[in-house]
Structure 1
Amino acid sequence: MIPSVDTTEDKIRFIIAMLAAIKVFIGTLGYNFFTDEQLVALENLIPFGFVIYATWKNNYITKKGEKQKAILKRNNLV
Protein backbone atom coordinates (compact mmCIF):
# COMPACT_ATOMS: atom_id res chain seq x y z
CA MET A 1 0.00 0.00 0.00
CA ILE A 2 1.31 3.45 -0.93
CA PRO A 3 1.41 5.86 2.03
CA SER A 4 -0.38 9.19 1.87
CA VAL A 5 1.82 12.01 0.61
CA ASP A 6 0.74 15.56 1.26
CA THR A 7 3.53 17.81 0.07
CA THR A 8 6.00 17.96 -2.77
CA GLU A 9 8.80 17.13 -0.33
CA ASP A 10 6.95 13.98 0.75
CA LYS A 11 6.53 12.95 -2.87
CA ILE A 12 10.23 13.49 -3.60
CA ARG A 13 11.27 11.49 -0.52
CA PHE A 14 8.91 8.67 -1.52
CA ILE A 15 10.22 8.54 -5.10
CA ILE A 16 13.85 8.54 -3.92
CA ALA A 17 13.12 5.76 -1.42
CA MET A 18 11.42 3.67 -4.10
CA LEU A 19 14.31 4.19 -6.53
CA ALA A 20 16.79 3.21 -3.82
CA ALA A 21 14.80 0.06 -3.06
CA ILE A 22 14.66 -0.87 -6.74
CA LYS A 23 18.41 -0.24 -7.10
CA VAL A 24 19.17 -2.48 -4.11
CA PHE A 25 16.92 -5.23 -5.49
CA ILE A 26 18.47 -5.05 -8.96
CA GLY A 27 21.94 -4.96 -7.38
CA THR A 28 21.23 -8.26 -5.63
CA LEU A 29 20.57 -9.77 -9.05
CA GLY A 30 24.08 -8.79 -10.12
CA TYR A 31 23.35 -5.76 -12.27
CA ASN A 32 25.38 -2.59 -11.67
CA PHE A 33 24.19 0.56 -13.36
CA PHE A 34 26.67 3.03 -11.91
CA THR A 35 30.45 3.08 -11.82
CA ASP A 36 32.26 4.26 -8.69
CA GLU A 37 33.06 7.58 -10.35
CA GLN A 38 29.40 8.17 -11.16
CA LEU A 39 28.39 7.40 -7.58
CA VAL A 40 30.98 9.85 -6.22
CA ALA A 41 29.72 12.53 -8.61
CA LEU A 42 26.15 11.87 -7.49
CA GLU A 43 27.20 12.04 -3.84
CA ASN A 44 28.71 15.46 -4.54
CA LEU A 45 25.66 16.74 -6.43
CA ILE A 46 23.06 15.79 -3.82
CA PRO A 47 24.36 18.15 -1.08
CA PHE A 48 24.67 20.89 -3.72
CA GLY A 49 21.00 20.38 -4.57
CA PHE A 50 20.02 20.58 -0.91
CA VAL A 51 21.95 23.84 -0.48
CA ILE A 52 20.25 25.38 -3.51
CA TYR A 53 16.83 24.19 -2.29
CA ALA A 54 17.38 25.47 1.26
CA THR A 55 18.58 28.83 -0.05
CA TRP A 56 15.53 29.10 -2.29
CA LYS A 57 13.05 28.12 0.44
CA ASN A 58 14.56 30.20 3.26
CA ASN A 59 14.96 33.50 1.44
CA TYR A 60 12.37 35.87 0.09
CA ILE A 61 13.56 35.98 -3.52
CA THR A 62 10.37 35.27 -5.46
CA LYS A 63 7.41 37.61 -5.93
CA LYS A 64 5.43 35.48 -3.49
CA GLY A 65 8.32 35.63 -1.02
CA GLU A 66 8.52 39.41 -1.30
CA LYS A 67 4.80 39.65 -0.50
CA GLN A 68 5.25 37.34 2.48
CA LYS A 69 8.15 39.41 3.79
CA ALA A 70 6.13 42.62 3.44
CA ILE A 71 3.32 41.06 5.48
CA LEU A 72 5.78 39.89 8.11
CA LYS A 73 7.33 43.38 8.33
CA ARG A 74 3.89 45.00 8.71
CA ASN A 75 3.19 42.71 11.65
CA ASN A 76 6.69 43.28 13.15
CA LEU A 77 7.64 39.63 12.76
CA VAL A 78 10.86 40.19 10.80
Structure 2
Amino acid sequence: MDRGTLIRTLVLFIALLNQILVACGLYKIPGTPEQWTEVLSTVVTAGSAIWAWFKNNYVTAKGKRQKEVLKQQNLTK
Protein backbone atom coordinates (compact mmCIF):
# COMPACT_ATOMS: atom_id res chain seq x y z
CA MET A 1 0.00 0.00 0.00
CA ASP A 2 1.47 3.35 -0.99
CA ARG A 3 1.69 6.32 1.35
CA GLY A 4 -1.21 8.25 -0.24
CA THR A 5 -3.57 5.29 -0.01
CA LEU A 6 -2.62 4.73 3.61
CA ILE A 7 -3.24 8.39 4.51
CA ARG A 8 -6.61 8.47 2.70
CA THR A 9 -7.66 5.24 4.39
CA LEU A 10 -6.71 6.53 7.86
CA VAL A 11 -8.49 9.86 7.34
CA LEU A 12 -11.63 8.08 6.15
CA PHE A 13 -11.51 5.61 9.07
CA ILE A 14 -11.11 8.40 11.64
CA ALA A 15 -13.91 10.44 10.09
CA LEU A 16 -16.28 7.46 9.98
CA LEU A 17 -15.44 6.50 13.56
CA ASN A 18 -16.02 10.08 14.71
CA GLN A 19 -19.35 10.20 12.82
CA ILE A 20 -20.54 7.01 14.52
CA LEU A 21 -19.49 8.21 17.97
CA VAL A 22 -21.16 11.61 17.51
CA ALA A 23 -24.36 9.95 16.25
CA CYS A 24 -24.39 7.77 19.39
CA GLY A 25 -23.72 10.77 21.61
CA LEU A 26 -20.51 9.23 22.93
CA TYR A 27 -17.94 11.72 21.65
CA LYS A 28 -17.68 15.33 20.71
CA ILE A 29 -14.74 16.92 18.92
CA PRO A 30 -12.89 18.89 21.62
CA GLY A 31 -13.12 22.65 21.41
CA THR A 32 -16.14 22.87 19.10
CA PRO A 33 -19.57 24.17 20.07
CA GLU A 34 -22.24 21.49 20.48
CA GLN A 35 -24.60 22.95 17.88
CA TRP A 36 -22.17 22.45 14.98
CA THR A 37 -20.24 19.38 16.08
CA GLU A 38 -22.48 17.11 14.04
CA VAL A 39 -22.26 19.39 10.99
CA LEU A 40 -18.45 19.48 11.20
CA SER A 41 -18.29 15.71 11.60
CA THR A 42 -20.57 15.16 8.60
CA VAL A 43 -18.53 17.54 6.44
CA VAL A 44 -15.28 15.79 7.38
CA THR A 45 -16.79 12.36 6.70
CA ALA A 46 -18.26 13.39 3.35
CA GLY A 47 -15.08 15.19 2.30
CA SER A 48 -12.81 12.27 3.15
CA ALA A 49 -15.17 9.78 1.46
CA ILE A 50 -15.25 11.84 -1.74
CA TRP A 51 -11.48 12.32 -1.63
CA ALA A 52 -10.87 8.58 -1.12
CA TRP A 53 -13.30 7.68 -3.91
CA PHE A 54 -11.81 10.20 -6.34
CA LYS A 55 -8.21 9.20 -5.63
CA ASN A 56 -8.87 5.45 -5.83
CA ASN A 57 -10.84 5.50 -9.08
CA TYR A 58 -10.04 6.50 -12.64
CA VAL A 59 -12.45 9.45 -12.98
CA THR A 60 -10.23 12.06 -14.65
CA ALA A 61 -8.94 12.00 -18.22
CA LYS A 62 -5.41 11.43 -16.90
CA GLY A 63 -6.63 8.57 -14.73
CA LYS A 64 -8.40 6.93 -17.66
CA ARG A 65 -5.19 7.12 -19.71
CA GLN A 66 -3.27 5.59 -16.82
CA LYS A 67 -5.78 2.75 -16.59
CA GLU A 68 -5.37 2.04 -20.31
CA VAL A 69 -1.59 1.89 -19.96
CA LEU A 70 -1.94 -0.49 -17.01
CA LYS A 71 -4.25 -2.72 -19.04
CA GLN A 72 -1.84 -2.73 -21.98
CA GLN A 73 0.99 -3.79 -19.68
CA ASN A 74 -1.22 -6.45 -18.00
CA LEU A 75 -0.75 -4.75 -14.63
CA THR A 76 -4.42 -4.58 -13.70
CA LYS A 77 -7.43 -6.85 -13.60
Output the TM-score relative to the length of structure 2. 0.55
Paired amino acid for 2:44:
I
Unaligned runs of at least 5 residues, structure 2: 1-6, 8-29
% identical equivalent positions: 38
Whole-angstrom distance in 2 between the partners of 1:59 and 1:52: 11
How many residues are treated as equivalent by the alignment? 50
1:35, distance to aligned residue in structure 2 (A):
2.7
- Aligned CA-pair RMSD: 2.3
Please, which of 36, 46, 49 is the counterpart of residue 48 of structure 1? 46
Structure 1, residues 19-76: CA drift from partner, whole Å, max 9, x if none? xxxxx8xx6xxxxxx5312122101210111100011000001000001001000000
TM, length-normalised to structure 1:
0.54
For structure 1, the 5+ residue unaligned runs are 1-8, 10-23, 28-33
Q: Distance in 1 between matches of 2:40 and 2:69?
A: 39
Q: In the alignment, which residue of structure 2 is the partner of 1:58? A: 56
CA distance in 1, matches of 2:35, 2:70: 46
From 56, 73, 76, the counterpart of 1:75: 73
3-state SS, counterpart of residue 59 of structure 1? coil
| Rg comparison, structure with higher value | 1
